[in-house]
Amino acid sequence: QVQLVESGGGLVQAGGSLRLSCAASGHTFGSYAVAWFRQAPGKEREFVAGIRWSISSIRYEDSVKGRFTISSDNADNTVYLQMNSLKPEDTAVYYCAARSHILVGVIPGEYAYWGQGTQVTVSS
């Protein structure tokens, strides 16, 4: 069983930055794919970024490329999402998810483990 805990959300102005953290307990990320999803009110949950832990293979949703960076810390068993140049349309609840697969998937249903979510609000 994997338990995921997100942190780092908050309120920022457009153009600002936040760093989200996803810490795991119960199991390491060594053989997992880990991803960030987000869900805004009235919208479906969408893929943001993901990382294949063992080889640090990374993919991003097109709208965040060049602005967001996903990374991992083996010592802390934590995945981070550095979000720069934030825009109001980035406002959403951000969720960390993991699955026991070496490849990063972009469909929420492909992930078995989810955190509680952390709110990111970007003011215009």
pLDDT tens-digit readout, 2-37: 899 999 999 999 999 999 999 988 767 777 899 999
Give the span between the Cα atoms of 49 and 26, in whole angstroms: 23
User: From CA 97, how far away is CA 42, in angstroms rounded?
Assistant: 20
CB-side exposure of 51: number of CA atoms within 13 Å?
21
3 in Cβ contact with 60 (< 8 Å): no
User: 52 pLDDT band (50/70/90 cuts)?
Assistant: confident
